[in-house]
C-alpha cells in the first residue's frame, strides 16, 4: 500500500477568472480505492480530467503512475483507464466488438483480447448478450460493461467519474463488487461520487468544497473527527460552507 | 498500423449499420443526378408571346407564323390592343409583347421599311434578354426572306450581308447536360465528403466517445486517418455511381481518361474531407456542424462556376472563386469530360487542389486537440 500512484501538489485549474480547482494536494497509493466527494460544481470532474490528460492544469504539480501531467500525458494514457459520466461505449457496436476495439487501440494482442473478452463475459454473465448491440442492453449492464472495458487493458489506475449515476441501488451494489474485485487485483481506483453510501466503500475519501480540499481521511476517521453519525453528516457539515452556486 | 486497423474496422462497422449514411451515399447521388440536370438548363424555350396585330395583313400573319414555328415561342395571346397585352404581362401570361402597327404591310412594300415594337418583361433577366434576342433574330431572318422575294435572283446584292456560321467545339450539340452533369457530380462529392465527416466526428463528441478515445494512447494522426480513409472510400464510391449514371442515363462518355478523373477526385476528396474535419473541430454539436457546412456549401456552389460563368463575374468575385476548391474540380471535370484533357493539361488545377488538401488537413490536425 505504500507505492504512490498519484500525487498532486497545489494543482490548480482556472477558467478565466473562475478557479475551478484551487491548489489541491494529495497522494493516492497503489491498490487504494480513493473517493473524491463534493457537491455538483465543486471541481471533482475538473480535477480528474487534469489527471487523465484531458485538461491542461493552470499551475501546480501532478504525477500519475510516475509520469508528469504536463509533459508525459501520452505516457499516462497507457497506464490509466477512464470511465466518464457520459456513457461512452459505442452503442452501434456489439458488446464483443466494443471490447475488441478498446483492447485493440491499447495495443493488446488478439490472443489477449480473446481471452480477456471471454473472462469479462463470464464475470458479468453477459455471454448471451455478447453479440447484441450495446444500445439494446439495459443501463445497469451497460455501466458494468463500461467499467470492464475501462480496465480491459489492465491499467495501473482507473478513473471513474460518477460511475453509478442513474442506476438503482441493487445495480450500484453490484457495481461496487466489481470495483472491489478490480482493487484486489492491484488496480488503483480513483472515483468521484456524490452518493454518501458509496463514500463509505472507499479506503479514503477526499471532500471538495468550492475547488478546495476540505477534508481527507478514511471514512471512519472523518466521522470521528467531525463528531458525526455518518458520512452523510460529515458531508453536510462541510458542504454547507460552500458559497459557489451549482452550475 | 495495428491501431489504425482497429479504428477502420470500427468505423466501417458503424457506417454499414447506419441506414442514414447508406441512404445518403446511394440514394442522394442517384436522385440528384437524375433530377437536377433536366432542371438546370440554360436554354430558354417556350417563351410566352403576346402579339398585338393592328395590321391584320398577309405579311404580318406570315411573320407571326414564322415566329411561332420556331420552338422558342408560344403564342399565348393575340389581342387587339397594347394595353390588354400589357395586362397579360402583369398576370404573367406573357413574357414578350410584339406590337405590329397599322400599315405595317403598306409601309414595308411602299417605303421598304416598317417599324415593330417589342416590350419585354425583365423580371427574369436571362429570359428577357435571350427572348428579345431570339425574336430579333427571327424577325431579321424574315426581313431577309422578304427582300429576297422582291429582288428576284439579283446578280449581286445591293447590300453586303455578312452571314455567320459557327461550330460548337467540344460540345457540338450544345447539350447542357454534358456541361451540368460533371459539375453536379463534383457538388455531390463535396457534400458527401464535407458533411459526412463533420457530422460523424461531431456526433462522437456529442455522445462522449471522443473523450474516451482521447484518454487512450491513440495518436491524433491515427484517429484522423481512421476517420478520413472510410469517407474517402465512400466518396470514390459515390463518384463511381455518378459516372455510371452519366454514362447510362445521359450517355456521357468522357472524352478524356477515367484515370485522370479518379486521380483528381482522390486528391479533391482529401481536401473536402479535411474541410469536414476542420468544421468538426469548430462545432460542439451536430446542428452547428450542419449550419456551418450549409453556409459554406452555399458559397461554394454559387461561387464555383457551376451555374454562372466565372468569366462574367466582377474582379473581386473572381478572386473569391480562386479560394474555392469546387471551382477547380468543376473546371477539370468539364475539361476532361468534354475536351479530353490529360493530367498534364490540368496540372495547375491538380496543384491547387493539392494545396487545399494540405492546408485544410494541416489546419484540422493542428486544431484538433486531445487535451484542452
Residue whose cell numbers read 479535411: B274
Q: Is the pLDDT of residue B167 over 80?
A: no
* SS3 call for A17: coil
- Domain enclosing residue B125, as ranges: 47-150
**Cα distance from A162 to chain B (closest Cα, Å)?**
15
Nearest Cα of chain A lies from the Cα of B192 at a distance, in angstroms, of 21
Give the number of domains in chain B: 2
Of A78, A87, A107, the CB nearest to B2: A107
Residue B110 or residue B366, greater confidence: B366
Which residues of chain B does A78 touch, with a Cβ-Cβ cutoff of 8 Å?
217
* Sequence-separated (6 or more) residues with CB below 8 Å from residue B63: B100, B139, B142
Q: Do A93 and B13 touch (CB under 8 A)?
A: yes
Residue of B nearest to A151 (CA): B216
CB atoms A52 and B372 under 8 Å = no
Q: Does A131 touch chain B (CB under 8 A)?
A: no
**Contact predicate B255/B340, CB 8 Å:** yes
Give the helix ranges, DSSP H, for B283-341: 286-302, 315-322, 325-334
B211 interfacial to chain A (CB closer than 8 Å) = yes
B140 and B76 belong to one structural domain? yes
Cα–Cα distance list, B5 to A107, B29, B194, B212, B229 (Å): 11, 29, 23, 18, 11
Which residue of chain B has the CA closest to A87?
B208
Residues in chain B with CB shorter than 8 Å from the CB of A77 are 215-217
Going by their DSSP bridges, the two strands A204-209 and A212-217 should be labelled as: antiparallel
ipTM (interface pTM): 0.88
Instruction: Label residue A107 exposed, middle or buried (CB < 10 Å: 0-12, 13-18, 19+).
Output: middle
What's the pTM? 0.82
Same domain, B106 and B211: no
Out of A57-66, B136-145, B194-203, which region has the weakest mean confidence (pLDDT)?
A: B136-145
Query: Is B212 in the A-facing interface, judged by CB distances under 8 Å?
Result: yes
Last residue in a domain, options B150, B165, B188: B150
How many angstroms separate the CA atoms of A37 and A192, rounded? 6
Mean pLDDT of B102-130: 80
Backbone CA torsion sign across B13, B19, B24, B28: positive
Length of chain A: 247
Contacts of B173 (CB under 8 A, 6+ apart): none
Give the end of a domain, one of B135, B150, B165: B150
Q: Confidence band (pLDDT; 50, 70, 90) for B160?
A: low
Based on the domain organization, do B88 and B109 belong to the same domain?
yes
Which residue in chain B has the smallest CA separation from A101?
A: B6
More confident of the two residues B31 and B169:
B31
Residue B306: CB partners within 8 Å, gap ≥ 6?
B180, B183, B184, B186, B187, B326, B330
Please tell me what DSSP assigns to residue B311: G
Pair B335, B256: CB distance under 8 Å = yes
- Radius of gyration of chain B measured on its C-alpha atoms: 28
Paired residues of B79 in beta bridges = B52
Write down the mean pLDDT value for chain A: 90
Please check the confidence at residue B244 and state whether its pLDDT lies above 90.
yes
Instruction: Give B23 or A1, the one with higher predicted confidence.
Output: B23
Question: Which of A8-12, A241-245, B208-212 has the least mean pLDDT?
Answer: A241-245
Q: What is the pLDDT of residue A76?
A: 92
Q: Do B185 and B103 fall into the same domain?
A: no
Q: Is the confidence at residue A149, as pLDDT, over 60?
A: yes
Q: Find the residue in A nearest to B12 (Cα).
A: A93
Long-range contacts, A116-125 (Cβ 8 Å, 24+)? A116/A152, A120/A145, A120/A148, A120/A152, A121/A95, A121/A96, A123/A148, A123/A178, A123/A181, A124/A148
Same domain, B331 and B357: yes
Neighbours of B295 (CB within 10 A): 10
How is residue B91 annotated by DSSP?
T
Q: What pLDDT is stored for residue A191 in this prediction? A: 94
Per-residue pLDDT at A118: 95
Instruction: Provide the CATH number for the domain around residue B88.
Output: 3.40.1710.10
B97 pLDDT above the threshold of 60:
yes
Cα A236 to the center of its chain, rounded Å: 22
pLDDT beyond 60 at A110: yes
Specify whether B197 is located in the same domain as B236: yes
pLDDT over 80 (residue B292): yes
Q: How would you class B280 by CB atoms within 10 Å of its CB: exposed for 0-12, middle for 13-18, buried for 19 or more?
A: buried
**Three cell numbers written together for A29:** 497509493
Cβ atoms of A210 and A199 closer than 8 Å? no
Instruction: Provide mean pLDDT across the span B174-181.
Output: 78
Q: Cβ of A107 and B217 within 8 Å?
A: yes
Got the DSSP string for A170-209?
A: HHHHHHHHHHHHHHHTT-EEEEEE--HHHHTTSSEEEEEE
Q: Burial letters for B44-72: b for 16+ Cβ neighbours within 10 Å, e otherwise?
A: beebbbbbbbebebebbeebbeebeeeeb
B372 pLDDT tier (thresholds 50, 70, 90): confident
SS3 content of chain A, % helix, strand, coil (to 5): 40, 25, 35
Between A and B, how many CB-CB pairs are < 8 A?
73
Q: What is the pLDDT of residue A50?
A: 93
pLDDT of residue B84: 85
Query: What pLDDT does B151 receive?
Result: 65
List of chain B residues whose C-beta atoms are within 8 Å of the C-beta of residue A133: 17
Q: Convert the pLDDT of each residue in A183-233 to its tens digit.
A: 999 999 999 988 888 888 999 999 988 889 988 999 989 889 888 888 888
Contact of B290 with chain A, judged by CB distance below 8 Å, is answered with no
More confident site: B133 or B175: B133
CB spacing of B14 vs A90 below 8 angstroms: yes
Percent of chain B with pLDDT over 70: 93
B156 domain residue, yes or no: no
Q: Give yes or no: residues B338 and B226 share one domain.
A: yes
Q: Are residues B306 and B286 in the same domain?
A: yes
How many angstroms away from the CA of B371 is the closest CA of chain A? 4
Cβ-based contacts of A55 with chain B (< 8 Å): 371-372
- CA-CA distance, B97 to B298, in Å (whole number)? 36
Among the partner-chain residues B10, B211, B217, the one whose CB lies closest to the CB of A101 is B10
Q: Where are the domains of chain A?
A: 4-239
Which residue is listed with cell 490529360? B342
> Has domain A4-239 been given CATH number 2.40.50.110?
no
The answer to whether residues B116 and B190 belong to one domain is no
Q: Residue B172 has what DSSP assignment?
A: T
Which of B265, B267, B270, B211 is CA-nearest to residue B240? B265
Q: Do B371 and A56 touch (CB under 8 A)?
A: yes
**Contact (Cβ atoms closer than 8 angstroms) between residue A144 and residue A175:** yes
Q: CB–CB of B51/B98 below 8 Å?
A: yes
Nearest chain A residue to B10, by CA: A101
Q: Which of these three, B96, B117, B150, is where a domain ends?
A: B150
- The pLDDT of A175-188, averaged and rounded, is 92
Mutate: best of B15, B17, B215, B372, partner A, most A CBs <10 A: B215
Q: Which residues pair with B98 in a beta bridge?
A: B51, B118
B310 and B210 housed in the same domain: yes
Residues B318 and B351 in one domain: yes
Q: Which member of A55, A92, A105 has the closest CB to residue B17? A: A92
> CA-CA distance, B324 to B317, in Å (whole number)?
11
Per-residue confidence band for B28, with pLDDT thresholds at 50, 70 and 90: confident
Please judge whether B9 and A86 are an interchain contact, meaning their C-beta atoms are less than 8 angstroms apart. no
Contact A208, A47 (CB under 8 A): yes
- On whether both B194 and B247 belong to a single domain, the answer is yes
Amino acid at each position: 500500500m505504500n507505492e504512490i500512484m498519484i500525487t498532486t501538489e497545489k494543482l490548480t485549474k482556472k477558467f478565466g477568472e473562475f478557479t475551478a480547482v484551487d491548489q489541491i494536494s494529495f497522494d493516492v497509493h497503489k491498490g487504494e480505492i480513493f473517493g473524491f466527494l463534493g457537491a455538483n460544481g465543486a471541481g471533482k470532474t475538473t480535477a480528474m480530467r487534469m489527471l487523465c490528460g484531458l485538461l491542461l492544469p493552470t499551475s501546480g504539480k501532478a504525477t500519475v503512475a510516475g509520469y508528469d501531467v504536463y509533459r508525459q500525458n501520452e505516457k499516462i494514457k497507457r497506464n490509466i483507464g477512464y470511465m466518464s459520466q457520459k456513457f461512452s461505449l459505442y452503442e452501434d457496436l456489439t458488446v464483443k466488438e466494443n471490447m475488441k476495439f478498446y483492447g485493440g487501440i491499447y495495443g493488446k494482442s488478439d490472443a489477449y483480447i480473446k481471452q480477456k473478452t471471454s473472462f469479462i463475459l463470464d464475470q458479468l454473465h453477459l455471454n448471451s448478450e455478447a453479440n447484441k448491440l450495446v444500445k439494446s442492453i439495459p443501463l445497469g449492464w451497460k455501466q458494468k460493461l463500461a467499467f470492464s472495458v475501462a480496465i480491459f487493458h489492465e491499467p495501473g489506475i482507473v478513473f471513474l467519474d460518477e460511475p453509478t449515476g442513474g442506476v438503482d441501488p441493487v445495480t450500484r451494489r453490484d457495481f461496487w463488487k466489481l470495483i472491489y474485485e478490480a482493487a484486489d487485483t492491484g488496480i488503483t481506483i480513483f472515483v468521484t461520487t456524490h452518493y454518501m453510501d458509496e463514500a463509505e466503500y472507499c479506503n479514503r475519501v477526499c471532500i471538495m468544497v468550492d475547488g478546495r480540499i476540505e477534508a481527507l481521511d478514511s471514512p471512519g476517521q472523518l466521522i470521528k473527527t467531525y463528531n458525526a453519525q455518518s458520512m452523510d453528516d460529515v458531508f453536510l457539515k462541510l458542504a454547507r460552507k460552500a458559497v459557489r452556486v451549482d452550475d | 498500423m495495428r491501431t489504425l486497423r482497429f479504428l477502420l474496422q470500427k468505423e466501417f462497422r458503424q457506417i454499414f449499420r447506419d441506414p442514414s449514411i447508406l441512404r445518403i451515399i446511394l440514394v442522394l447521388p442517384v436522385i440528384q443526378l437524375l433530377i437536377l440536370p433536366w432542371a438546370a438548363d440554360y436554354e430558354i424555350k417556350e417563351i410566352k408571346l403576346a402579339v398585338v396585330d393592328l395590321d391584320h395583313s398577309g405579311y404580318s400573319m406570315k411573320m407571326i407564323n414564322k415566329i411561332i414555328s420556331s420552338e422558342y415561342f408560344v403564342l399565348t395571346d393575340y389581342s387587339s390592343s397594347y394595353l390588354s397585352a400589357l395586362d397579360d404581362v402583369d398576370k404573367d401570361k406573357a413574357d414578350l409583347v410584339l406590337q405590329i402597327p397599322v400599315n405595317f404591310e403598306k409601309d414595308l412594300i411602299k417605303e421598304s421599311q416598317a417599324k415593330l415594337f417589342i416590350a419585354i418583361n425583365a423580371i427574369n433577366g436571362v429570359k428577357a434578354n435571350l427572348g428579345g434576342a431570339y425574336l430579333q433574330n427571327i424577325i431579321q431572318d424574315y426581313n431577309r426572306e422578304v427582300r429576297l422575294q422582291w429582288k428576284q435572283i439579283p446578280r449581286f446584292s445591293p447590300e453586303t450581308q455578312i452571314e455567320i456560321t459557327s461550330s460548337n467545339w467540344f460540345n457540338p450539340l450544345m447539350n447542357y447536360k454534358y456541361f451540368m452533369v460533371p459539375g453536379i457530380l463534383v457538388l455531390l462529392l463535396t457534400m458527401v465528403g464535407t458533411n459526412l465527416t463533420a457530422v460523424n466526428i461531431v456526433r462522437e463528441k456529442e455522445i462522449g466517445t471522443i473523450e474516451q478515445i482521447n484518454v487512450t494512447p491513440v495518436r491524433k494522426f491515427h484517429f484522423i486517418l481512421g476517420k478520413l480513409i472510410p469517407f474517402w472510400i465512400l466518396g470514390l464510391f459515390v463518384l463511381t455511381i455518378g459516372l455510371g449514371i452519366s454514362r447510362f442515363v445521359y450517355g456521357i462518355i468522357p472524352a478524356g481518361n477515367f484515370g485522370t478523373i479518379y486521380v483528381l477526385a482522390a486528391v479533391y476528396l482529401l481536401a473536402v474531407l479535411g474541410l469536414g474535419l476542420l468544421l468538426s473541430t469548430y462545432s460542439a454539436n451536430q446542428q452547428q456542424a450542419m449550419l456551418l457546412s450549409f453556409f459554406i456549401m452555399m458559397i461554394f456552389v454559387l461561387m464555383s462556376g457551376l451555374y454562372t460563368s466565372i468569366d462574367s463575374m466582377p474582379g473581386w468575385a473572381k478572386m473569391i472563386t480562386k479560394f474555392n476548391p469546387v471551382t477547380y474540380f468543376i473546371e477539370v471535370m468539364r475539361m476532361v469530360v468534354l475536351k479530353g484533357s490529360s493530367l498534364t493539361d490540368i496540372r495547375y488545377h491538380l496543384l491547387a487542389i493539392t494545396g487545399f488538401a494540405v492546408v485544410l488537413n494541416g489546419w484540422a490536425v493542428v486544431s484538433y486537440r486531445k487535451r484542452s
